[in-house]
With several copies, the nearest count.
Chain A
Amino acid sequence: MSSFTLLVTSAPFTEQNAYSAYRFALASVQAKHSVNGIFFYQSGTLNGSSLQLTPSNEFDLYAAWQGLANDYNVPLMVCVSAANRRGVTTAQEALDSDTPHFSLTPPFESVGLGELAVLMKNSDRLIQF
């Protein structure tokens, strides 16, 4: 039993990296390792947008992330500053900036970079995608 933190810095669909991270996370939990959290930074924060509409004949990575969180209790943490500048915002952030709409909903959570420090401190490996 080992523990992982995954750092996802790439946008979904546009690049394969985010999908690879999902497959790695799934293989980890299936092998009874613990994934302390997936931390989304840079373009990776776009993975947290609930507004993504994936064509029905294509792989829905957003739904896959949700499944990982629900089935294995893997925290999905989105860096607030990287996310906000890319249009990924929570209800509260939208309220604070007088924007009527928002895109980030649970199981994704908006957090600061400090959460990544905590995750890493408690993980045997950090793997970046």
Chain B
Amino acid sequence: MILHKLTSSPFKDLSLQHCLQRLGESDGVLLTQDAVYALIHQDIREKLNALSGKVFLLEEDADARGIEANGNVEIIDYEGFVELTLKFNKVVSW
């Protein structure tokens, strides 16, 4: 029950790839800052779509960058971000 918080673009570095390789059964992925560009990265987007219900997108960061949610990504704002960290047992920041 770990929430993995991502901040960097998957076109730039490999942290999202490395995180997905080690994802536990009941873990979740939260895309913030430049990690919201994962939704326009074809390979990564397919991997995220396979994780239905476990992928979250920070609305403020996505809107700032002009990125729209697609697939089964759940959109949350900062208030939802706070609650999400409490639904999971702990948060790992990559």
A interface residues with partner B (beta carbon < 8 Å) = 2, 4, 16-17, 20, 23-24, 26-28, 30-31, 33, 124-129
Q: Are A17 and B7 in contact (CB under 8 A)?
A: yes
Which B residues are in CB contact (< 8 Å) with A129? 93
**How long is the Cα–Cα vector from A127 to B86 in the complex, in angstroms?**
11
B86's closest neighbor in chain A, by CB?
A2
When the two chains form their complex, are residues B82 and A33 in contact, meaning their CB atoms are under 8 A apart?
A: yes
For the A-B complex with A2-B86, A4-B85, A129-B93 known, give 15 more contacts whose Cβ atoms are closer than 8 Å.
Answer: A16-B34, A17-B7, A17-B33, A20-B32, A24-B78, A24-B81, A24-B82, A27-B82, A30-B79, A31-B79, A33-B82, A124-B86, A126-B90, A127-B85, A127-B93
7 smallest CB-CB distances across A and B, nearest first, come from A27-B78, A128-B93, A27-B82, A28-B82, A23-B78, A16-B33, A27-B79
By a beta-carbon cutoff of 8 Å, the part of chain B in contact with chain A is 5, 7, 32-34, 60-61, 78-79, 81-83, 85-86, 90-91, 93
Q: A20-B33, A23-B78, A27-B79 in contact; A125/B60 too (CB < 8 A)? A: no
| Interchain nearest-CB distance for A55 vs B (Å) | 19
Could you tell me if A125 and B93 are in contact, using CB atoms closer than 8 angstroms?
no
Q: Which A residues lie within 8 Å of B33 (CB)?
A: 16-17, 20
Inter-chain contacts of B82 with A (CB < 8 A): 24, 27-28, 31, 33
Across the interface, do A125 and B79 meet the contact criterion of CB distance under 8 Å? Answer: no
